[in-house]
Structure 1
Amino acid sequence: MTEVLPRIPDAGRLYLKAAGTLTKKPRGEPALPPLEVRVEDVGVDAGHLADYAAICGFDEIEHLPITFPHVMAGALHLHLLTQKRFPFPLLGLVHIRNDIRQHRPLTADTRFSLGARIGEARAVRQGIEFDVMTEATADGETVWSETSTMLHRRPAPKTAAGPRPQAPATPLAEYRSFAAPDDIGRRYAKVGRDYNPIHLAPWTAKLFGFKRHIAHGMWSAARCAAALERELGRPPEALSVQFRQPLFLPGKVALKLLRGDGGIDFSLLSARSDKTHLTGVLR
């Protein structure tokens, strides 16, 4: 049964609630409850949109950036992941993939219904993987949809040990470069409504095993989409991203791209090493 809320919840308060989920210790192969939430008649906050566009590098906001409904729905995701019935601790979940479909360009004055639900759990080598599905509907039709794949990490059994699969080599020839400033995690947290401590400061990231704080994956994805949208020359219809290695802050990166029929394949690489932070396709 879908839970209907009167408004989008406050993300900051939900992150305080998330701290209480750290004591959750799932055992065996947990089944995820069929949690679903929806808010009707959601509008775009013009100031929020302008701040988001500026931080992520979008030139104009006549149409919503393809990644913007994700941040509008962020508090709905938190609402689901902090429910008592949800078995995993929220802090510590790893965002590993994102697949967005924009069925038609959305303007800043579009009002829509926004909903999110949790999919089934899957056992993988690194732990337990699951999807969070989000959908925006207007006038009875789906206008935007997203599948975010999350990972609850746990030690792999000895029988699962082996070499990590390598990403296939892609002949990406063109380059764009940009910097990820030391404070981008704190700045993006305000517009992305994502206050996960691993993004905010070195000392908070160390509490979760990182040597220093890392950029939000969805900031990196949006920053790439903003640069590539100019190359595409039109509002995109789809964005698929695979998050591979964390981008420690501050950092410098190189965006490599290959133009294809109707879209662009890309990789975000460290400018100082051979690390690949993410790979993706914008169509």
Structure 2
Amino acid sequence: MTIQWQEVGAAPSMSALYAKAATRRKITAKVLPEQGLRQVLQVDQQRLAAYRKVCGFSDNGLLPPTYPHVLAFALQMQLLTARDFPFPLLGLIHLSNRIRVLRPMGGVGQVRASVHVENLQAHPKGAVFDLVTRLDDQLGLLWEATSQMLCKGVQLDGALVEDAPAASPVLVEVARWAAPADIGRQYAKVSGDYNPIHLSGLSARLFGFPTAIAHGLWNKARTLAALDSHLPEANVEIEVTFKKPVRLPSEVTLLASAAGSSGDLRLIGAGELEHMVGGWRPAG
């Protein structure tokens, strides 16, 4: 697949992008576009400080490993609401997320972000594809992430993607925290992600959820903030699979391996309900 890159100048209107997302409810094709978007972006220090506060990160001079998702969120929205993107954005389900931090992200002011989609495959519940986001600075690739997204109701030919059997590593409790009823709205303010399923019980019920649920990337960010002393600052790959959603409000517990270059993690709720599993490894 050869990506045809389009350079984006001015920031898009987020309200216009959300209007497009709200009015597109149909699957229009079974082929992903070969167009990707690129844009030069600036780190807003006030927005970064607000993000750190909501997600629990300390101000250590480094960008939090999940923060580039916020930087590139408008670019992702623009790609996923484009006319040639075949699936309705509000129907997508975030199944997993893999981040690679290749170099320490200190002193980052201006970066070039790029986003594209690839790897469309059949899934027992529809079809999955990868949303790939990268950040480059003057030295080259700094950070990249792959989010696997599910679109229900798509029927594709080919072998189905099946979940790999989960291992059962020995983990110990590292932290626990409350996910308050308004954390979806708090996170939306700092991330720009105003998906209705996260904002209130009323808006979540319109999309089939009995209560509002926490953003998957807030769960991951809050987890990595709690594991700050466990993880290397760079040359690290952090992958998680999202399981049962965190209903708001609730309390969750983080289990993890000892600090080191690699390890495993689990985020669980009451009754050992598994919300998120994953781990970290050298990026290679």
State the TM-score, normalizing by the size of structure 1. 0.90
Q: CA deviation at 1:229?
A: 1.1
Q: Which residue of 1 aligns with 2:274?
A: 276
Number of residue-to-residue matches in the alignment: 275
Can you give the 5+ residue segments of structure 1 that lack an aligned partner in the other structure?
none
CA 1:95–1:164 in structure 2 vs 1: closer, same or farther (change >3 Å)?
Answer: closer
CA 1:241–1:16 in structure 2 vs 1: closer, same or farther (change >3 Å)?
Answer: same
User: What's the C-alpha RMSD, in Å, of the aligned pairs?
Assistant: 2.3
Distance 1:120 1:164 in 2: 16
Distance 1:75 1:178 in 2: 29
Please tell me the residue identity of whatever aligns with 2:101. Answer: Q
Please tell me the residue identity of whatever aligns with 2:192. Answer: R
Matched, 1:223 2:222: yes
Please tell me the residue identity of whatever aligns with 2:280. Answer: L
CA 1:15–1:85 in structure 2 vs 1: closer, same or farther (change >3 Å)?
Answer: same
Q: CA deviation at 1:138?
A: 1.4
Matched, 1:2 2:5: yes
Q: Which residue of 1 aligns with 2:173?
A: 174
Partner SS for 1:229: coil
CA 1:224–1:236 in structure 2 vs 1: closer, same or farther (change >3 Å)?
Answer: farther
Native 8 Å contact 2:229 2:259 kept in 1: no
Q: Which residue of 2 aligns with 1:20?
A: 23
Please tell me the residue identity of whatever aligns with 1:3. Answer: Q
Q: CA deviation at 1:237?
A: 2.5
Q: CA deviation at 1:167?
A: 3.0
Can you give the 5+ residue segments of structure 2 that lack an aligned partner in the other structure?
none
1:100-147 residue CA offsets vs partner (Å, 9 max, x unmatched): 111111224431111101113100112100001111111251011111
Q: Which residue of 2 aligns with 1:187?
A: 186
Aligned pairs for 1:102-141 (under 5 A) are 102-141=101-140
Native 8 Å contact 1:99 1:239 kept in 2: yes
**Which consecutive aligned stretches of 4+ in structure 1 deviate over 2 angstroms post-superposition?**
7-13, 107-110, 154-157, 163-170, 230-238
Native 8 Å contact 2:231 2:260 kept in 1: no
Native 8 Å contact 2:42 2:109 kept in 1: yes
Q: Which residue of 1 aligns with 2:211?
A: 212
Native 8 Å contact 2:212 2:247 kept in 1: yes
Q: CA deviation at 1:282?
A: 3.1
- Percent pairwise identity: 38
Native 8 Å contact 2:127 2:150 kept in 1: yes
